[in-house]
Amino acid sequence: MFTLGHILWGLTKTSFGGVVGEGHRPRDSVALNDVLDEYRHKNDVFRKIHDIINQEMDKGLSKARNKDATVKMFVTYVQSLPDGTETGDYLALDLGGTNFRVLLITLKGSKVEMKNKIYPISHELMIGKGEQLFDHIADCIANFMKDHDLMTKTLPLGFTFSFPCRQEGLAVGRLVRWTKGFCCAGVEGEDVVGLLQEAIARRKDINVECVALLNDTVGCLMSCAFHDHNTRVGVILGTGTNACYVENLDKVELWDGDHLGPNQVVINTEWGAFGDNGCIDFVRTAADRRIDAESINPGKQIYEKMISGMYMGEIARLVIVECAEKGLLFKGILSDELKEAHRFHTKYVSEIEKDFMKGGNSEQTREILDELGMPDATIEDCQGVQEICRVVSERAAYLASAGIAALLNRMKLPAVTVAVDGSLYRFHPHFHDLMMKMTTELIEKDCKVKMMLSEDGSGRGAALVAAVAHRMRVARSSVSSES
């Protein structure tokens, strides 16, 4: 794995605090610096953002102030993490788009065996009656169980439901609104677990109980916690961004459950909405404001729009366009492709960053610019685009780090593993190193942090939540019978 040291090896500082290959400084670097300055910040700025998001998290946990909070800090009702004693077979259901998965997870000590099958959801089901959708899901569960000789078994199920829900218990969650092209009638405002159980009951041939409802962030945390028991934070850095962490119940004023279990609960921060109240406007740029204004949800998900993969490529494109219009790149001439909104994909940023790591190599950059109708780009143009992608990437990683550091400092633990999933983190060549650098800078010095890539949180993680819920239920039953 490349480290920050590899990135900086053999490179030289430019006048604007970045690094480019020796002898490959982009033309008019001082002028380019003027454009990029608003994306580059000293550590004190990220420390200020850390402090602000921590205050917003306090507001979200407060019963009196939650209504006005942008970082909602939803209670997930997940109180225990895997401890290695979970065994047996568990089903998982992963629904979040036009396909969904049914999984069978078998836990054997430290080993996890997984079988899964993907089932399509037709457009007719996406816009039809809710009862029809859940009947289809129940049919697919039954089909899967028959294929794996599970029809006579009683199996707990974990349900990853990637739509906005208001949870009222570990296995109770009401759909707030449909997204992603779904608009099934009779589901919004209803308990989706209840609708699933009713559909299963209508079949009368399978015995499955949904014991946990979760989102992908909690699944990310649980999947890593199975292997690393220091895992206390889950972060998604993909098309969107979100985080969850383990909080002390004494700090959760909205807790309405009992106090028979551990004195902790996983909190789903929904931190993508951080900044919706204007509290981080001081670091937003003209590109940030334009992307927000032209989005389908203006004024919403401000933090997410500055970090996530859905927007990073467009931020870079807008900076490239600004530099070209000022005559700093491509002799002021842009192709139709580069003028097209969202045409410069975030995957291009990751690929161009690989060139930057090679100390001025421009192979990937040239291929991408050629694909975007700019075959005559000079080495200076390539280096300028590389610097733009580097600065935009660095800002995103450091903004995410401010949020992660706030969570770590809230928990005050000596060692914490942060589980991370999402395409941005997976495929960007040094997002991990940048995050480690700034997170380490912002956390208390007596805390040791490690970041780990999570594997299949929406599938394996869902089954693990079900396994832990089953373990806790058995433990409670034993205590009740003894008393």
The residues assigned a catalytic role are 101, 162, 216
DSSP track, 152-215:
T-EEEEEEEE-S-EEEEETTEEEE----TT---BT-TTSBHHHHHHHHHHHH-S-EEEEEEEE-
CB 303 within 8 A of CB 272: yes
Q: Which helix (H) or strand (E) holds 2?
A: none
First CA to last CA distance, the chain: 54
Question: Nearest 10 degrees: CA dihedral of 379, 381, 387, 388?
Answer: -160
Instruction: Name the token pair of 465.
Output: 């939540």
Query: Measured between alpha carbons, how far is residue 122 from residues 119, 128, 181 in Å?
Result: 10, 10, 11
Beta strand 448-453 with 415-421 is parallel
Alpha helix ranges (H) inside 358-417: 363-371, 379-411
The secondary structure of residue 25, as a DSSP letter, is P
Number of Cα atoms under 13 Å in the Cβ half of residue 142: 17
Instruction: Name the token pair of 335.
Output: 């192709």
Q: CA gyration radius for the chain?
A: 24
